[in-house]
Structure 1
Amino acid sequence: MIFVTGGAGFIGSNFVLDWLGQSDEGVVNLDKLTYAGNLDNLASLQDDPRHLFVRGDICDGALVLALLNQHRPRAIVHFAAESHVDRSIHGPAEFIATNVNGTFALLEAARAYWSALAGAEKDDFRFVHISTDEVYGSLGEHGAPFVETTAYAPNSPYSASKAASDHLVRAYFHTYGLPTVTTNCSNNYGPYQFPEKLIPLVMANALAGKPLPIYGDGGQIRDWLYVSDHCAAVRRALEAGRPGEVYNVGGWNEMRNIDVVHTLCDILDQAAPKAAGSYAGQIALVPDRPGHDRRYAVDAGKIQRELGWKPVETFDTGIRKTVQWYLDHQAWVAHVQSGAYLSWVEQNYANREVV
């Protein structure tokens, strides 16, 4: 059995679904069910005895340790995190609480559990920590992609909180010997992503006839990673990653935000055409957010060389699958667009006049 935190969120739920689609090994899934945690993502597992869902907070060390002692997992895969930069700008306290304090509490529970193991159980145990490329800061337009030894330079409360969690994980390996593996991924996209992030937000707004808000000039560059490829990388890191090591996980798909949006509009024009005109006519440039990093890109060569992983999807294949999934799951989109989500959109975009 493995123990997954944040397994009702976007990446976590995709990981749990992929895991149980390929393995009979059970999953204990701990998720607090904040606004982005959604049990609808796991509806297909409702009657699956391999999946045990527990609603709880990683900050609750006593709960985590009790679950570990009860179910005796061979690994912890730690996805749980507050993850949206804009939300961290408006309210950083929650990011410190979950990403820093929560990871600390989880590490303490993991250390206590692991220390009590013996023999092969102790030797084989792993703590896989899922992090982000944003901890490395911002790249120039022509700078070499981030590698695992790039110095940290986080520029938002979100990335700073993830950097802190990475440092804690590193410290627990070097100080206590806890067998940790860290992955730093680029921008994920795909099914079940909460519609505050660029791709699902553009999809939802386009189909609703609303403006497609793009920060600044839309020239920010990101490396895009299809979520199933990310899940495969995490599985490989769990299987063969060396304790204490860090692996960057990227899609080798650098694109400007404005080009991503135009690509989405082009696909929607074909798959769900408007009565008149193109969805691109809804694009609206809005003032940039504070401290907006210009470019992220990771070099995923190490995980390919050492663990044999590389992405299967190109951006073209992945984005087409993503668009079709959202078109086929409009009920899911409508359900997650709750009052809390709409309040967030109002808070973040209402006072941004179109440029």
Structure 2
Amino acid sequence: MSNLKKVIWAIALLGLIICGILAYNIYNAIFTPNTAFNNETAYVYIPTNAKFTEVKSQIEPLVKNINTFDAVAQRKGYTTNIKPGKYALKKGMNNNDLINSLRSGNIPVKVTFNNQESFNDLARRISQQIEADSVSLVKTFTDEKFLSENGFSSETALGMYLPNTYEFFWNTDANSFRERMLKEYQRFWNTNRTNKAEELNLSKNQVISLASIVQKETVKVDERPRVAGVYLNRLSKGMLLQADPTVIYAIKKETGNYDTIIKRVLYRDLEIVSPYNTYKVAGIPPGPICMPDISSIDAVLNPEKHNYFYFVANVENFGYHTFAQSLSQHNRNKQQYVRWLNQNKINR
């Protein structure tokens, strides 16, 4: 009987030791730091409909022990409940922290775009920042049903996208991106801006088209209301806008090469047959020649009041322009600019 008790105690003791070892191993697997990167934060991007094997392939270089990560993921049910997005993993996290972050820590990304001239360029820029690819974005941007339902055409649609920095979740799809941009556009056109457009007798699309010309004419935000005033003065007198950037855009649109760099518009360029050639076609072009900044749109809605009808680049204050009320004064200013172009051998 004494030997039986010893055996029982030995088995019990062995069981306790085994349980202790198991508990220790489980504790280590869950709560011991398991990161292998030196930076304070590492980011992983989990695609929509990703399998656990795809997640593991991203995680493996970032952890010391992928097996314990795998075990904890199985135990916490993460392997069958994977969520897409961008996730931040902090240095020193244990497997429990890692799984919790991957399960509920989807963080937004900042999406920025500027004055793109085509939907292909915009799609390329956006696809570098969110999960949606260029093909799906272009298809969504140009969907005729969406455009007609929201007051756009293929010519004016680019004006719906206001250059700025926005927050999105990385796993945003093309449709969701477009819907958010529509809401931003509608929010931008508040009562105040809408009333100002009506006072100018311009539609929203016309304001944006004119603003895109202002955008291309000057990089100086403080000069944009003055440039806008020139074009509005021309429109009020029934004059042609005669804006060089519209001719450059017409050339790009005809060739399909929006990467073309044209620093000097030649007289032969002014003969191009295009609804965007404001040397030939009266009024505002049928659509924007780029996506104008909000500052350019507001410059059109709040133009400087003056009597200028002409302007040319100021070679003594680069980035700005010299303005004139009369054609004779403008021609004198233009001669100085042409001399500068020739001296610097800018022929195209």
The TM-score with structure 2 as length reference comes to: 0.24
The TM-score with structure 1 as length reference comes to: 0.24
Larger helix share, 1 or 2: 2
| Larger RCO (CA under 8 A, 6+ residues apart) | 1
Larger radius of gyration: 2
